[in-house]
Amino acid sequence: MPIWIGYYGLLIFSVIGFAILWNFNFTSLIGFAAFTFGIVSWKLIIGFYLVFYKD
């Protein structure tokens, strides 16, 4: 796996962690969409990489 995928995951989870510490409202439309987009995009990138790139 490329290193940038790991850094992307760390970035997403650190932003989510800071948002939790700052009491960000994840139940609003924007909060839920941002949270869901981050998690889903990271998992899709990993899935496409595992399916299409054979090392």
The residues spanned by each domain of the chain are 3-52
Check the CA dihedral 18-8-48-3 and report its sign.
negative
Rg of the chain over Cα atoms, rounded to whole angstroms, equals 13
Q: Residue for token digits 């995951």?
A: 9
Task: Please give the Cα distance from 15 to 54 (Å, whole number).
Answer: 31
Q: Percent of the chain beyond pLDDT 90?
A: 4
Angle at which helix 29-52 crosses helix 3-21, to 10 degrees, equals 160
0.75 exceeded by pTM: no
The pLDDT profile of the chain, 55 residues, written as one tens digit per residue, is 788 888 988 888 898 888 889 988 878 888 888 889 988 998 998 888 888 887 6
Rounded Cα gap, residues 1 and 19, in angstroms: 28
